[in-house]
Amino acid sequence: MSLTDIQTRISQAEARAERAPGSVHLIAVSKEQPESHVLPILESGHRVFGENRVQEAVGKWPAWQERFGKVELHLLGPLQTNKARQAMALFQVIHSLDRPKLARTLARLAQETGACPQLFIQVNTGAEPQKAGILQPDTDGFIAECRSLDLPVIGLMCIPPVEADPAPHFEQLAAMARRNDLPCLSMGMSDDFETAIAHGATHVRVGSAIFGARG
Ligand SMILES: *Cc1c(COP(=O)(O)O)cnc(C)c1O
């Protein structure tokens, strides 16, 4: 599907949900995609991309940014504390803040450098053991902890279990964001971004539907 098709579907989903046109940000997830798939999207003028791994992103985006100008980069995958400095230098937004130790590291580096990316707290809404994210009962407390560290938390992010109906997960994430006065919701991927928009997503993360299957 082309980028234009996805943008059209996003606009239609915004309209159906009676949301303002342009209220949903499209993050084109370029992880593991060959250059031949990414360049046409850059050439079309799109400037918001998502990556899963710091190392992979550091290896390819500086050259592309030299050629196409500044791109807004979002880190979507788990972040190890020993990669935090590199991640903060490259990414404008991090979607995977998921534990106190990482929060303290980001806060320390923000103090030191005077800058910090915008942050989403990742919530493991399905309580899946193999998945990153703070568990639901701990979320309100963790948001408060991040705020006490002066971290710029703008919203919540989730990845619903693969086989589950995503709607209840999106609903729960939206409720948690609402009661904590967080304005942004990072939810919805290739297969469910329209459902996510119906439930209030402000940032959808779409990879394979734009670029084709990975690897
Ligand atoms: C890979 C990935 C996506 C994009 O997935 P698609 O199904 O290809 O749209 C979105 N969010 C995260 C966190 C991912 O790892």
CA distances from 135 to 72, 126, 173, 188, 199 (A): 29, 8, 11, 19, 20
* Ligand 1 pocket test, candidate residues 162, 189, 210, 211, most atoms within 8 A of CB: 189
Euclidean distance between CA atoms 196 and 173, whole angstroms: 10
Of all helices (H) and strands (E), which one includes residue 27?
A: strand 25-29
Q: Whose CA is nearest to atom 10 of ligand 1?
A: 205
Q: What is the token pair recorded at 167?
A: 């709607």
Euclidean distance between CA atoms 151 and 147, whole angstroms: 6
For the segment 45-83, what is each residue's pLDDT rounded down to a tens digit? 999 999 999 999 999 999 999 999 999 999 999 999 999
Burial 21-57 (b: 16+ CB within 10 A, else e): eeebbbbbbbbbbeeeebeebbeeebeebbbbbbeeb
Number of domains making up the chain:
1
Main-chain dihedrals φ then ψ at residue 156, nearest 5 degrees? -120, 150
User: What is the model's pTM?
Assistant: 0.97
Q: Whose CA is nearest to atom 6 of ligand 1?
A: 207
Structural domain for 150, as ranges: 3-211
CATH of the domain at 131: 3.20.20.10
How do the pLDDT tens digits run along the chain, 215 residues long?
789 999 999 999 999 999 999 999 999 999 999 999 999 999 999 999 999 999 999 999 999 999 999 999 999 999 999 999 999 999 999 999 999 999 999 999 999 999 999 999 999 999 999 999 999 999 999 999 999 999 999 999 999 999 999 999 999 999 999 999 999 999 999 999 999 999 999 999 999 999 988 86
Residue 74 CA, ligand 1 centroid: distance in Å: 12
Q: Which residue type occupies 183? A: P
Supply the pLDDT for residue 139. 98
Residues with CB under 6 A from ligand 1: 29, 31, 52, 76-77, 159, 189-190, 205-209
